[in-house]
Structures are given as structure tokens and as C-alpha cells.
Amino acid sequence: MSTDAETPDPEAVDQPFWLSPASFWMPTHYPLSAWFTHAPFASWLVDSIRPRRIVELGTHLGFSCFAFAEAASRLGLPTTVDAVDSWEGDDHAGFYDESVFESVRTVVEQDFPRTVVLNRGWFSDVRPRVADQSVDILHIDGRHGYEDATEDYEQWRSSVADGGVILFHDIAERERGFGVWRLWEEIAEPGRSFFFEHGHGLGLLAVGDIRYKPISRLCGADEETAAKIRGDFSRLGDRVHRQAWLESLPAELDRVNALAHERSLQIDQTAAALEAERQYVQTIKASTSWRITAPLRAVGKLRPHRA
């Protein structure tokens, strides 16, 4: 007779729990981003939690927002992704013009009209419109100073439902005034958190009771398993980064061609100016006065050089 102890746990012997089919999905959209290498983890997380609502603080050109939205729509989930941004930029992301918001809006209208809601405004102004305990995944990726990230965390953590998670981007950045690492060191508890070092660092913090088995296994992973998880997601992330580079090539080629065209026009203009100079010199040399003064120039050349 078979006992429970003899029955193999299929999750223990088969595929590692962090490698679901979603971990291998490749995004459709690749706007420039420091988040490229986290897309596989985003898909895995959405598959693991099946969130009703995701809120993102800091969307910029939209890469991470689209990665969450695409995973939700591939899974057929009725998830809402609330993207919050002033769409003005900041001192780390740089300040930018209206074309950034327009590019995000175009993708959302075409591909995610029922999933993504664009909330244009300051994080603190949008916060009262989001009910407490209504968010399953909160992604904090706004300004990256210690005080800024702490303020975003303190204002928004009560919006996350019991069993949800908070993601912090850039926890591995320690230069240029980045201070999310410091906040992370203060709040990351063993058994309730997990972090990646690649892609500028991404931390996951569990809120309240951990309700989803993949999240409890992730947060409870021993050092050896954690290293495997980090290695696998880093390699999967590299694949996305390479694809992003390939996707950028046609635009880069256009840029290089335009530059080459501009340079070639400049070379033509310089050549035309040189030719005009040469003809002018020829005209002078052919003139009567130049020929009459030739002996004087010859005498000048023969005169001994004085120190």
C-alpha cells in the first residue's frame, strides 16, 4: 500500500518551480528601458499570483508596464495594470517631452485597451484614488533617492492586499545618488523577500500572509536554490536584452544612414569650396600682374635668409 511519504511530489521532481512556461515568454514591445532583463520574472510572477490589480509607480516609455500587461493578457486574466507617472521625467531618468507619453498611449490603445490604465500625475496625488488593500503587485520604480523611494513605499504599502508583493527596482545601484538599496536593507526580511542583482537589482517583498505557494517557495529558498533562481532569471533576462538590441537595430541603422548622408553633404560642400578656391588661385596666377611681378618673387626667394 502506498503512503503519502512514498508519493513523489511532482513539483519537487519535475521542472524547478521558478521555470513555468511564462518564464520563457518574450515581450512584444521593447521601448528603451533599464528593466529589460526582468521581463521573464515579471511574467512568472503574474502567472504565480494571477493578480486582479497591478500598480506601477514610474512607467516612462512603458517597458515594465507592457511586460506585466502582456503576461496578464496571455494568461487570459482580467487584470488591471495602473501605470502612474507624471510623464515629465526626473533627475535620474532625465526630463523628456510629450512624445514619451504619446508613444505609451499609442501602444496601450492598440494592444492593452482593457488592461492598462494611464494615470498621469504625481504619485502622491494619485494615491488617494487607490483603495487600501486593493493591489496585488505594486512596482516602485520612480525616483531612486533614499528619501524618494522611502516616501513612495510609506505612502503606497497600505494599498497592497494581504498576500500581495511589492517590487523595488534599482536595489543594486549605489552610485549617482541612488538609495533604494538602503531602503531595501531596512525592510527586506528573511523568509519574506527575495532579490536579484542583475538588471540594476530587483527586490520582492511579501505583504501580510504569504498566500501563493510559488511566492512562499521563492522567499523560503535556501542559498543554493536562490543562486539557481538568480542564475536562471539572469540568463533568461539576457535573452530579452539581446532581443531588445536586435529590435533597436533598424532604428539605429536609420540613424547611422542619416548621419552618413549628412556627412556626405558636408564633404561635397567642402570639396566645392576647395574647387572654388583652386579656380580663384588659377585665375590670379594667369593674370597679367602676377606674370609681371614674377621676377620680384624670384629675387625674394634668392635673398639670403637673415636670422
Ligand X SMILES: C[S@@+](CC[C@H](N)C(=O)[O-])C[C@H]1O[C@@H](n2cnc3c(N)ncnc32)[C@H](O)[C@@H]1O
Q: How far apart are CA 165 and CA 163, in angstroms?
A: 7
The smaller minimum CB distance to ligand X, of residues 213 and 242, is found at 242
Q: How far apart are CA 275 and CA 91, in angstroms?
A: 49
The smaller minimum CB distance to ligand X, of residues 38 and 192, is found at 38
Start-to-end Cα distance in the chain: 116
Q: What angle do CA 195, 134, 132 make, to 5 degrees?
A: 100
**What is the smallest separation between the CB atom of 263 and ligand X, expressed in angstroms?**
32
Q: How far apart are CA 257 and CA 211, in angstroms?
A: 54
Strand order in the sheet with 202-206: 116-120, 80-85, 53-57, 135-140, 160-169, 202-206, 193-196
Contact flag: residue 89 with ligand X (CB under 6 A):
yes
Helix (H, G, I), strand (E, B) or coil at 212: coil
Dihedral angle computed from the Cα positions of residues 99, 153, 109 and 30, in that order, rounded to the nearest 10 degrees = 70
Contact flag: residue 199 with ligand X (CB under 6 A):
no
Tell me which stretch binds ligand X (CB under 6 A): 29-37, 74-82, 221-229, 235-243. 29-37
Q: Count the residues of the shown chain that bind ligand X, applying the rule CB under 6 A.
A: 20
Tell me which stretch binds ligand X (CB under 6 A): 28-36, 106-114, 216-224, 282-290. 28-36
Contact by Cβ (8 Å): 68, 46: yes
Contact flag: residue 178 with ligand X (CB under 6 A):
no
Q: How far apart are CA 137 and CA 77, in angstroms?
A: 14
The smaller minimum CB distance to ligand X, of residues 82 and 212, is found at 82
**What is the smallest separation between the CB atom of 33 and ligand X, expressed in angstroms?**
3
Tell me which stretch binds ligand X (CB under 6 A): 55-63, 108-116, 233-241, 281-289. 55-63
Tell me which stretch binds ligand X (CB under 6 A): 89-97, 175-183, 195-203, 292-300. 89-97
The smaller minimum CB distance to ligand X, of residues 63 and 168, is found at 63
Residue partners of 126: CB distance under 8 A and separation at least 6: 84, 119
Contact flag: residue 123 with ligand X (CB under 6 A):
yes
* 169, β-bridge pairs: 202
Contact flag: residue 166 with ligand X (CB under 6 A):
no
Q: In the range 236-265, which residues lie near ligand X by CB under 6 A?
A: none
- Quick one: which of 85, 164, 178, 193 contacts ligand X (CB under 6 A)? 85
Contact flag: residue 93 with ligand X (CB under 6 A):
yes
Binding site for ligand X (CB under 6 A): 33-35, 58-61, 63-64, 85-86, 88-90, 93, 122-123, 141-143
